[in-house]
Amino acid sequence: MKPLRHPPPAGPGHRLPMTLLHLRVRDLFLRAAAEIHCAGISNHAAAEWLHKRLARYRECGWQRDRIAETVPPRLAGRVEGLLFCVLKCSDRLVSSRLVRAVLARD
């Protein structure tokens, strides 16, 4: 019998290891954005602010930037640069409730 090249999926209701890795990296970028741009405010306020900025960037700038492999130079040093990385990991809008949960896990 030939050995399997790839391990079988975990089964229904279980996420694949690569999906879990993408979500962990997304969470790290969200935490970094909060630490850099939301210093001194509560997790609740930071989550609301990040959610609003992420929604705005996803509706506007992300449409142009999504084809880029790396962070566009115009976003370097801005919160949108980190949000670009968040959306590269998972191209969906993250709710403020989930951002609060991620920030609470620090």
Can you give the pTM of this predicted structure?
0.85
Q: Share the mean pLDDT of the chain.
A: 90
Residue 3 has pLDDT above 70, yes or no: no
How confident is the model at residue 57, as a pLDDT?
Answer: 96
Task: For residues 27-41, give the mean pLDDT.
Answer: 95
Query: Among candidates 26, 33, 21, which has minimal Cα distance to 89?
Result: 26
Q: What is the pLDDT of residues 73-106, one digit of tens each?
A: 999 999 999 999 999 999 999 999 999 999 998 6
How confident is the model at residue 4, as a pLDDT?
Answer: 61
Query: Among candidates 83, 93, 102, which has minimal Cα distance to 37?
Result: 83
Task: For residues 49-72, give the mean pLDDT.
Answer: 95
